[in-house]
Amino acid sequence: MTAIFAKTALTPDGWRDDVRVELGGDGRIHGVDVGGTAAEAIGVAILLPAPGNLHSHAFQRAMAGLTENRGPSGTDDFWSWRELMYRFVAALTPDDVEAIAALAFVEMLEAGYASVGEFHYLHHAPGGGGYEDIGEMSARIASAAGATGLGLTLLPVFYAQGGLDGRPLEGDQLRFRNNRDSYARLLDRAEAAAAGAGADSTVGVAPHSLRAVSPGDLSAAAALRSDRPIHIHIAEQTAEVDAVEAALGARPVEWLLANADVTARWCAVHATHMNDKEVADLAASGATAGLCPITEANLGDGVFRGDDFLTAGGCFGIGSDSNVRISLVEELRLLEYSQRLTRRARAVLAAPGRSVGRTLFESACAGGAQALG
């Protein structure tokens, strides 16, 4: 048993002084004693619960800054950024991915995160050929988490098609490709890899997006691990919203809620562009909105309807996504400031009678824990 003694700690009952936290050999909290002693304990001034980072693409940490030059067309956006990202992906080896992930995970710990949801879609060798071990890349992510001590919810991504018209993947996207059978085998292998990363590790399901899987693929993926987290990119870009509506007859969040059993195990990553009904219905489903304010600003995605979503009773968590900047404080600050800019008001996301910081921090802790299982 190890103990931490904090002069001040944020507990479920608010700020308390002289708090002793007992940790078991499994790394979990076994007891919290307010008014405890400092004997044989690690001493700290202030102790906070550590949130989970619910959405990360660790390999993108190494391309930070590479996409900040304006292209010759003068119309740089998410889609031009994505083409540069694909070119970067083409060069990465398993050793590269493990080293970059270890760097990113250390920075996440330094930023105050205790765990990460790694939305991992880089499965195969350059050109799309398979490694001898279908879980080679997933194992590298798990190894990096185990080496750094960061909790891991490994989310192997199911990417089956190149667009809503069902066209096959090609080019650099072939490194992401799976069908239903190979994805099931990948999940099994990822579970074995995550088990070696430590007690604070699990595996969830991640259909990439409505454009990357068919409706049948989405249902099949959700059924593979019915008690685990399931994460999906959705409604990040207005072009995506238009394309989904044209192909499926409904807006992305609207379609998902009507065609999948969306519950508290779901994390709707971004969910930036929603109408009033989608906001209310997503909040009512119990799903977590996975917000990544730094990345959403960097890519020019748009602003999440945070005030409306929280008013409707929705919950959110925070993710570092592209890892262009790994800072929990800046994610929360940018989330609030984006609301102030669009609402032209102050303290927009604060609960009545409470501070902005406390509201955002506790919401991120709760939403991250739910989304990461």
| Positions marked active-site | 270, 321
The answer to whether 33 and 11 are in contact (CB under 8 A) is no
Q: Nearest to residue 233, comparing CAs of 303, 155, 305, 116?
A: 155
Q: What is the DSSP string of 29-49?
A: EEEEEET---TTSEEEEEE-P
Q: Is 79 helix (H, G, I), strand (E, B) or coil?
A: helix
Which residues lie across from 19 on neighbouring strands? 6, 34
Give dist(CA 63, CA 151) in Å, integer. 24
Output the CA angle 351-303-348, nearest 5 degrees. 20
Whole-Å CA distances, 72 to 69, 171, 197, 275, 299: 10, 23, 44, 34, 17
Report CA dihedral (275, 281, 284, 285) to the nearest 10 degrees: -120
**55 in Cβ contact with 321 (< 8 Å):** yes
Beta bridge partners of 291: 318
Q: What phi and psi, each to the nearest 5 degrees, are found at residue 5?
A: -115, 120
Cβ-Cβ contacts under 8 Å for 123 (sequence gap 6 or more) = 134, 137, 138, 156, 157, 175, 176, 177, 178, 186
Separation between Cα atoms, residue 265 and residue 272, nearest integer Å = 19
